Structure 1
Amino acid sequence: MRLNARPLLTLALGGTLLAAAGAQADRSEWPESFTMGTASQGGTYFVYGSGWANMIADELGLSGGGEVTGGPVQNLALVHTGDIAFGMTTMGPAADAMAGQSPLAPGMVLDNVCAMFPMYETPFSITALASSNITSISEIPDGARIGFGPAGSTSDTYFPAILETLGVDFERRNGGWTDLGGQLQDGLLDVIAFAAGIPIPAVSQLEVQSEVNIIEFNEEELATTLENFPVAEFSIPASTYTTLEEDARAVSMWNFAIAGCDLPEDLVYEATRLTMENNERMQSIHRSAVTTIPENVVHNKVLPFHPGAARWFTENGYEIDPALIR
């Protein structure tokens, strides 16, 4: 069944009418509803993913929403099995999944996962209460209780290994970001090691209630981390948090939205189009979406692109290696 143009033209996105391509989409095999896998409440994935799902559902006339998950590693597995249609992941866990090295499915290649569009970089940052007197990574005391986010998340997968490589001795704790922020404030944790898009809601909330230290990597720690892990150098702008007086040195991984490779091409095309053509609306969902722009499609060298997503990018002049199209 094909939709005529008139009903679609009643749907506006930020005051802009849906493009004619949306009216021609073949919806005969579209699901009536969809789920977007995010991460724990209090993190950027949850805010970004839930907002995106609501936008796409509204604009395409579907039922859809975000779902709390364990984050990027679990999202890859859930999309692969078809338990969720869409998800969000970082390039490190994606590379592991494609190599059959996912900690959730050792030995299984998770190859029913396709890239849709670039989201933002995930900085790896460390926060402690100012009262702890921890102002650098080297000052984290032996046996420190460190919260690494949900089990299986990007933060939990990579941050413990990074800190071990930098000589930190710690007790590993897991949980949602909001919960870990509360534990830090209550003295049940010494440090939280975040891997999440900035500003991290849990950190912003902590700043309102307590004095905090946002701890950066020194030059030697940065060089060691870059040498040993699939991350890039990153600078957290001072404007991100009221605590920061100057930019903070960190590392990051790129995030991409993902989709089941067997989803209808027109559905993924429309979801990609709406996202890429409405960056102002995306930024109203979360500030990190300032980098949710087509030019950043080049940062995926790991996952195959869904043919629906690849069609939008190539139609709009963005080159994608044909070998990376499913």
Structure 2
Amino acid sequence: MKFKHILGSVAVASATSLLAAMPAVAQDRSDWPKSFTVGTASQGGTYFTYGSGWANLVSKELGVTGGAEVTGGPMQNMALVSMGDAQFGMTTMGPARESIEGNNPIAPGVKLDNACAMFPMYTTPFSVTVLTSSGIKSIKDIPAGAKIGFGPAGSTSDTYFPKMLEELGVKFERRNGGWSDLAGQLQDGLLDVIAFAAGVPVPAVSQLEVQTKINIIEFTPEEQKKIIDTFPVSAHEIPAGAYTSLTAPARSVSMWNFAIANCELPESFVYEAVKVVMGDHDRMMKIHKAARSTVPANWDKNGVLKWHPGAAKWFNENGASIGQDMIFKK
């Protein structure tokens, strides 16, 4: 059964698609899909900007119609890709593990294990943003009952950030929505805090600080340790200058993101798509600064997903040592 039938009312809006000239090298494409989509997340977030960029890049270079889809983020992408309703997608390691184990809230009890690792993207820092006028300068300053926006329902941010703040003793009212919408609500006084989990710089935050003064709230060393001890994240620093408002590094935590492919896709198709993305780092950096981590050396950051055979072939040809036990077999 196609997963879109299961989702029912879950809407995904199609972004710009692109068909370019056929590549110069002839090859057997008889089993390639006629088109593809990349599941991303809400507009205004890093996933959408980054995903739209590499979707269009692959479409242009391979001559296959393709583009990005607005989705609910990593959890929904795991479901869409595993069920075959999106050829490619983007996820984080936490939601990936939960989906494989059958704990994806979109498909409770269903082991979504037909989504394979494609390439490493970047780490997702968890960061708290407030208006300077709020007077909030630390996690402890967040007042009880604060209205906090956690991004789209089912996103990495929505899955983990509420639990993290609860672990730190914050009492709040939970709100969901796209990042651009939540940024607007923060500026209009309808939210007190936005808890972002997205690659830096988050477009919605960059736009927000052009219009008003904001504070990026860092974790204390004690708060950071408590979160690392409890959740599948690692220590991270958001670099100074990532935002105009950030004049010194901000202590944070982060989780790795990977592009994923439906495991049944043809090996040669995924191989060529990975080659396009990983073969020209400068082009990826022009798409989004978070792509500085989209390099072959980070293949080893995946310890959760089986690798697509086409992706594993490219990485092993380029310095990786992905074992057969980590490669998907039909």
Aligned to 2:152: 150
Code of the aligned partner of 1:245:
T
CA distance in 1, matches of 2:56, 2:311: 19
**Shift of residue 7, structure 1, vs aligned partner:** 5.6
Cα shift at 1:316? 1.7
> Is 1:183 matched up with 2:151?
no
Q: Count matched residues.
A: 308
For residue 33 of structure 1, report the CA deviation from its aligned partner: 0.7
For residues 150-192 of structure 1, what are the alpha-carbon distances to aligned partners after superposition, in whole Å with 9 as ceiling and x for unaligned? 0000000000000000000000000000000000000000000
Letter in 1 for 2:275: R
- Measured against aligned partners, the alpha-carbon deviations of 1:240-290 in whole angstroms (never above 9, x if no partner) come to 011011000000000000000000110000001111111100010101001
Q: Residue 87 of structure 2 corresponds to which residue in structure 1?
A: 85
How big is the shift at 1:212? Answer: 0.3
Secondary structure at 1:251 match in 2: strand
Q: Specify the SS of the correspondent of 1:240.
A: coil
Q: Counterpart of 2:122 in 1: which secondary structure?
A: strand
2:55 match: 53
After TM superposition, what 4+ stretches of structure 1 lie above 6 angstroms from structure 2? none
| Residues 226, 232 of structure 1: 8 Å contact kept | yes
Gap change, CA 1:78 and 1:245, over 3 Å in 2: same
Letter aligned with residue 8 of structure 1: P
Q: 1:146 to 1:312 in 2, by over 3 A?
A: same
Map 1:186-205 to 2 at 5 A. Answer: 186-205=188-207
Task: Using structure 1 for the length normalisation, give the TM-score.
Answer: 0.93
5+ residue gaps, structure 1? 1-5, 10-22
Give, in whole Å, the separation in 1 of the partners of 2:169 and 2:162: 11
Counterpart Cα distance in 2 of 1:155 and 1:27 = 38
Residue aligned with 1:239, SS: coil
Aligned residue in 2 for 1:226? 228
Partners of 1:137 and 1:195 lie apart in 2 by 16
Report the secondary structure of 2:23's partner residue: helix
Give the alignment's Cα RMSD to 1 decimal: 1.0
Q: Which residue of 1 aligns with 2:243?
A: 241
Identity of aligned residues (%): 64
Number of the residue aligned with 2:18:
none
> Is the CA contact (8 Å cut-off) linking 1:25 and 1:266 kept in structure 2?
no
8 Å Cα contact 2:296-2:318 kept in structure 1 = no
Deviations 1:222-245 (A, max 9, x none): 010000000010000011011011
Could you list the per-position Cα deviations for residues 37-86 of structure 1 after superposition, in whole angstroms to 9, with x for gaps in the alignment? 00000000000001110010010001100000000000000001111100
Q: Is the Cα–Cα contact under 8 Å of residues 234 and 250 in structure 1 kept in the other structure? A: yes
Per the alignment, residue 251 of structure 1 pairs with: 253
1:309 is the counterpart of 2:311: yes
TM-score under structure 2 normalisation? 0.92
